[in-house]
Chain A
Amino acid sequence: MSGKTLYDKIWDTHVVDTQDDGTCLLYIDRHLVHEVTSPQAFEGLRMAGRKVRAPEKTIAVPDHNVPTTPDRVKGIENEESRIQVEALDKNAKDFGINYYPVNDIRQGIVHIVGPEQGWTLPGMTVVCGDSHTATHGAFGALAHGIGTSEVEHVLATQTLIQKKSKNMKVEITGKLRPGVTAKDITLSVIGATGTAGGTGYVIEYMGEAIRDLSMEGRMTVCNMAIEGGARAGLIAPDEKTFEYVKGRPHAPKGAQWEAALTWWQTLRSDDDAHWDKVVTLKGEDIAPVVTWGTSPEDVLPITGVVPAPESFTGGKVEAARRSLDYMGLTPGTKLTDIRVDTVFIGSCTNGRIEDLRAAAAILKGKKIAPGIRAMVVPGSGLVRAQAEEEGLAQIFIDAGFEWRLAGCSMCLAMNPDQLSPGERCAATSNRNFEGRQGRGGRTHLMSPAMAAAAAVTGHLTDVREMMAEAV
């Protein structure tokens, strides 16, 4: 009998019940909640006269709808958004769950707040009514998005009805080259596997290039596992993980820390574990990448050109034609010739302190190109405060960026931060879907350093050239 994967181990630790057909009831250690996908679930509880089973394991924060301009302390202008945030205020209070309201400095994007506050720990099961819950997999936690009916199910029972996924190993060997980041890894993997390549699987990312990443970088990688279709992405915890977790407000302390650490150190895939699918990329082959189309799989190195639809096969030919039409691009155009109107740095993919440091390193002493609208939206109030303390905020402001308050912002444009039809954006977020950042808006996904470089030149840019200048 072969050994177990990390996924197998976490799964086995959380099975409450198994039916004859293999359907399991899985215990949920942490349930994260935001304002958009939860109101109907709380309403369902009320109508059935049910309580939240484990309010101490349930954490809520408004993020999707909140304005990020400084005047938000005066309240949310958009009525529907305000009602949704107020509903979360009320539900958190009525059901007695942990809550970070809009004007709390700890407020931010739910996937940044969870790890920051020490709610996310290795070996846990973590769910949220949000597909980017995969982020928490960076800690070696089994973390995935669920729908609102499942949110209600977890609130009522602290469990989820699940069938086990298959195991997929994604190995990134060797070292990354200068200018190449976690975002380039995760986009390159999706470029290689396609947006459905991970469907039915839980991915474990391994290899030297993954081990070398900071916790922030690992969160970026796992965050986009969902974009590759996987249920979840995992990275085995190691010293970097323990170091990150230690001392956080909700991390274990004293004897419990020691007990936890002993168990966490066992959380890795056995050498003889069985993998249903294996993908290997060489770290040195990964270049800084951007997306050209309207699917996260439409990835190319920045040195490339816009592809011709005929270069694809099957349904992708028509999809690529539609994408290029939507994006206003002509095949053969050099990617570095694509001009941008807007630059957005933020989101649960790239809104952490390290992301802001990487962008600021490019922007230091420079100005954004004339006519460019550029904004930085830190992932949480605490990230924002730290960036101010480190002098990063001033670099952004001096360069011509707007320095915003925390939230999801222009990643999905549910708040006032939106693109206009035809407006083209270099974005550090996770989805380039049609209309994602605003109806008719055109999104190119990339790393924070690449987005900063585009802000300076006004077009998509190979950040390595700018780094060479700096040297």
Chain B
Amino acid sequence: MEKFTTLTGIAAPMPLVNIDTDMIIPKQFLKTIKRSGLGKNLFDEMRFTQDGKEIPDFVLNQPAWRKAEIIVAGDNFGCGSSREHAPWALLDFGIRCVISTSFADIFYNNCFKNGILPIVMPEKVVKVLMEDARKGANARMTVDLEAQTVTTSDGQSFAFDVDPFRKHCLLNGLDDIGLTLEKVSAIDTFETGAAQSRPWV
């Protein structure tokens, strides 16, 4: 997994609430057996017409936000299906950070497994960041994971919370499976105990 330390980039404003994972990556693109190459289909049905032409109004098709690396979104981003194809598509497009008032649980977890930082901010802060994002390519937002701050293009800084363990893994690009396998003896012990207490499992 790629580390996430600091990021200074263009933020795309997506104020719509309940942006679900079917919107982020529609199901016809889930037939792949790979993790890569999904960026071209990110937000496919919002971004392209049925015959594959760009929809000019969609934020990521507008010149100012084509190279966005951050999304500032409405409430409950990533709801719906557990498909990890959603963060894979975001990452492949170049999005490393999503900021919203709330995220759906599974999507939120999936982000951390892929080097994407989801940031929860209060509504009034999201409003400020949304306005900053609307400035487009002339503005750059900065996200500092170590300091746990988001700074707007005009220097307003806002603190955010993040789980310490997840922060540690993201800062260092750590692989969860490797970490867990260091505890394999605890798993062995648990299994031995469970085989006694719940043998039917």
A-B complex: 3 closest residue pairs judged by Cβ atoms: A252-B200, A149-B113, A80-B31
Main secondary structure of the interface of B (DSSP, over half): loop
Contacts A80-B31, A152-B177, A256-B199 given: A17-B183 contact, CB under 8 Å?
A: yes
Judge whether B45 and A439 touch: CB under 8 Å: yes
With A83-B31, A161-B165 given, name 11 new contacts (CB 8 A).
A25-B183, A25-B187, A36-B83, A78-B31, A130-B81, A150-B113, A156-B181, A229-B105, A263-B198, A414-B27, A436-B27
Give the residues in chain B near A436, CB-CB below 8 Å: 22, 27
A315 touches B187 (CB 8 A): no
- B27 A159 Cβ-Cβ under 8 A: no
Nearest opposing residue in chain A for B166, CB measure: A23
Q: A315-B74, A412-B27, A414-B31 are in contact. Are A433 and B104 (CB under 8 A)?
A: no
Give the interface segment out of A193-201, A337-345, A448-456. Answer: A193-201
**Does A153 reach chain B (CB closer than 8 Å)?**
yes
Residue B142 at the chain A interface, CB threshold 8 Å: no
Cα distance A436–B194 when bound, in Å? 41
Known contacts A147-B106, A435-B26; decide if A318 and B15 are in contact (CB<8 Å).
Answer: yes
When chains A and B are docked, how far (Å) is the Cα of A16 from the Cα of B198? 15
Q: Could you say which interface size class chain A belongs to? A: 35 or more
**From residue B77, how far is it (CB to closest CB) to chain A in Å?**
10
B40 to chain A, nearest CB (A): 16
Complex: how many Å from CA A145 to CA B21?
14
CB of A19 within 8 Å of the partner chain? yes
Q: Separation in Å of the B149 CB from the closest CB of chain A? A: 21
Q: Flag A425-437 by CB within 8 Å of B: 1 or 0 each.
A: 0000001011110
Interface residues of B in 111-157 (CB under 8 A from A): 113-114
Of the residues A19, A129, A435, contact of B45 by C-beta under 8 Å = A435
Question: Cβ of A147 and Cβ of B109 under 8 Å apart?
Answer: yes
Known: A16-B187, A25-B183, A27-B187. A146 touches B75 (CB 8 A): no
Interface range, B side? 35 or more
Q: How many angstroms between the C-alpha atoms of A231 and B35 in the bound complex? A: 25
Interface hit among A37-45, A272-280, A386-394: A37-45
Contacts of B184 in A (CB 8 A): 157
Cβ-defined contact, A40 with B33, below 8 A: yes
Task: Tell me, in angstroms, the Cα distance from A230 to B105 when the chains sit together.
Answer: 8
Interface residues of A in 45-93 (CB under 8 A from B): 48, 50, 53, 57, 64-65, 78, 80-81, 83-84, 87
Interfacial chain A residues near B34, Cβ < 8 Å:
40
Do the beta carbons of A229 and B76 come within 8 Å of each other?
yes
List the A residue with the shortest CB-CB distance to B123.
A314
CA distance A156 to B30 in the complex (A): 23
By a CB distance below 8 angstroms, the chain B residues around A40 are 33-35, 84
Does A213 sit within 8 A of B, measured CB to CB?
no
| Known A25-B180, A131-B82: A147·B164 in contact at CB below 8 Å | no
